[in-house]
Amino acid sequence: MSLAEFFDMGGYALYVWSSFGATAVLMIAEPILLRGRRRAVLQRIARLIRIRTEENQ
């Protein structure tokens, strides 16, 4: 199968690539979003600790 034929998927290109595309997008976006969430939580905790140590001094 040539590359052009591969992308065409026997005429079903729209459907096949929309399906695999959405799957790829979501399964890549989710870990990325999670990394952002983790960073936000860590920043928040670091800030809380800083405030607490400043209060104790």
Partner 1 sequence: MSSRIINWFKFSSPASFYPLAGKLIPVFTVAAVILIGVGLYMSFLVAPTDYKQGEGYRIIFVHVPAAWMSMFIYLVMAFWAAMGLVFNTRLSAMMAESLAPTGAMFTFLALWTGAFWGKPMWGAWWVWDARLTSELILFFLYIGYIALKGAIDDTRRGDRAGAILLLVGVVNIPIIYFSVKWWNTLHQGASIDMKTGSSMASIMLITMLIMALGFWMYSIAVAFSRVRSIILDRERDSQWVSQLPEVQQ
Which residue from 26, 54, 55, 57 is in contact with partner 1, where contact means CB under 8 A?
26
Rounded to whole angstroms, the Cα distance separating 38 from 41 reads 5
Task: Let me know how long the chain is.
Answer: 57
CA distances from 43 to 29, 38, 49 (A): 21, 9, 10
Q: Which is nearer to partner 1, 37 or 57 (CB)?
A: 37
State yes or no: residue 28 binds partner 1 (CB under 8 A): no
Which residues sit at the interface with partner 1, rule CB under 8 A?
A: 6, 9-12, 14-16, 18-20, 22-23, 26-27, 30-31, 34-35, 37-38, 41-42, 44-46, 48-49
